[in-house]
Structure 1
C-alpha cells in the first residue's frame, strides 16, 4: 500500500514527533510512505492536483484547514486519511478517529472506507461547515500568531472582539427555493463545532444533505444566549434559531465584501452558492465505525 502523508508543520504549532511516530507505525504495517510538508496556505491542494499519482491513501496531518486543502486536491476514488494535530480537529472528533499514532496507522492501513458527502462552496468542497456573519468574522479576525502560540484562546479573543458587529448586516438566503433572512448563518455538514461542541443534532456526513442554522434574534444578548447554549449541545433550542435541512443555498448580504469561512479558514466573500457536492468522498475510519 502506497500512502502519501501531507503534513502541515504550522498546524497546532507543529507536531514533528507525532508525524515521525505515525510514519513509523505505517511502515511497520507494510506501507510505502511518502511525506510532503506544506509550505504555505493552499500548497496541499496545489501539490495534490499536480501529481500524476496520489497513491492508495492520502493522509492529512494537521487541523481542519489542512484536511480541507487535501480534500480539494484529492483525486476521485482515493481514500482520505485524517490524523488531527491542529487546534480543534473537529472532523477527526466527528468521525471518532484515534489521536494515538499507532491506532491511527491501523485505521489507515486496515480500517474501512466510509462514504462521506462534502458540501460545495462555489466549487470549493468543505467537510464540516461554512458560515457568514459572526461566524465568518471570528475566523477572519483570528490572529494567526496568537493561534500558533495559544491555540483555541485565539478564537475566544476573536469572538469577544466581534460581538459588537452582530446585527449590523442582514443576510438574504434562498434555501431550496424559499427565501429567508438572518443576521448570521452557519451551514453545517457535520454535528460538531469548535472541537467537542455539538452545533446541530440533525447533520449527518454520510447523507447528501446540509443543515442550515439561521440566527434571527436581534441584539448581542441573543447571540450570547446562543454561545452559552453551544457547550450543552442546545443551540437549536434557543429562541431565534431556525434549523432546517437543505441541498442548495444562495446567500447575499446587505453590505459589500462580507466574508465567508469554510472548515475554519477564510473562504472568499459573498454572494455565494452552497450545495451538496456532486461526488462523495471515501474517508478511512475504524471498521466498527463504518
Structure 2
C-alpha cells in the first residue's frame, strides 16, 4: 500500500517521537510511506495538488486544521486516514481513531472504509464544522504562540476575552431557503466540539446533512448558560438555541465578520455553505 503522510510539526506542540513510531508501524505492516512536513498553513493543500500520484491513502498527522488542509488537496478516490496529534482532534474522536501510533497505523492498513460527505464554505472544504459570531471570534483571536505552549488552554483564554462581545452583532442565516436571525451559529457535520464536548446529538458524520445550531438570544447570561450546557452535552435543550438539519446554509452580517472552519480562521462573511455531491473515503476502526 502506497501511503502519503502529511505531518504538521506545530500541531499539539509537535510530536516527532510518536510520528517516528507511527511511520515505522506502517512500514512494518507493509506500507510504502512518503512523508511530508508542512511549513505553513495551506502547504499540505499545495503539496498534494502537485502530486500526480497521492497513493491509496493520505494520512493527516496533526489536528483538525491539518485534516482540513489535507482534504482540500485530496484527489477523488484517495482514502483519508488520521493520526491524531493535534490540540482538539474532534474528527478523530468522532471516528474513534486511536492515539497510540501502532494502533493508529493498524487502522490505516487494515481498517474499514466509511463514506463521509464534506461541506464547502465559499468553495473551501471542511469536514467537521464552521462557526460564526462568538465561535469564530474565539478562533480568530486565539494566541497561536500560546496555543503551541499550553494547547486547549489558549482557547479557554480566548473564550473568556470574547465573552462580552456576544450579542453585539446579529446575523441573517438562511437554512435551506428559510431566513432566520441569530447572534452566533455553529454549522456542524458531527457531534463533538472542542474535543470531548457533545455539541449536537442530532448530527452525525454518516448522515448526508449538516446540523445548524443558532443562538437566537443576546446577553452574557444566555451565552454562559449555553456554555454550561455544552459541558454536560445539553446544548440543544437550552431555550433560545435552535437546531435544524440542512443541506445548504447562507450567512450574512452588517459588517466585516470572521468565519472559522475546522478550528481555523478561513475568511469573512458572507458565507455560502453546502454539502458536496460526493463523499470522502475515511479509514476507521472496525466496530
Which band: TM-score by shorter chain?
A: over 0.9
| Number of the residue aligned with 1:206 | 206
Q: Deviations over 1:253-272 (max 9, x none)?
A: 02x21000000000100001
Secondary structure of 1:149 counterpart: helix
Q: 1:1-290 residue pairs with structure 2 within 5 A?
A: 1-254=1-254, 256-288=255-287
Secondary structure of 1:279 counterpart: coil
Q: Deviations over 1:139-188 (max 9, x none)?
A: 00100000000000100000000011101101001111111000000001
Please tell me whether the aligned partners of residues 213 and 242 of structure 1 are also in contact (alpha carbons under 8 angstroms).
Answer: yes
**Unaligned runs of at least 5 residues, structure 1:** none
Question: Cα RMSD over matched residues?
Answer: 0.6
Q: Distance in 1 between matches of 2:174 and 2:81?
A: 34
**Unaligned runs of at least 5 residues, structure 2:** none
Structure 1 residue 202, shift from structure 2 partner: 0.7
Please tell me whether the aligned partners of residues 203 and 211 of structure 1 are also in contact (alpha carbons under 8 angstroms).
Answer: yes
Structure 1 residue 287, shift from structure 2 partner: 2.1
Secondary structure of 1:287 counterpart: coil
**TM-score scaled to structure 2, two decimals?**
0.99
Please tell me whether the aligned partners of residues 217 and 239 of structure 1 are also in contact (alpha carbons under 8 angstroms).
Answer: no
Please tell me whether the aligned partners of residues 9 and 15 of structure 1 are also in contact (alpha carbons under 8 angstroms).
Answer: yes
**TM-score scaled to structure 1, two decimals?**
0.98
Q: How many residues are treated as equivalent by the alignment? A: 287
Q: Deviations over 1:80-112 (max 9, x none)?
A: 010110111110000001111111111101111
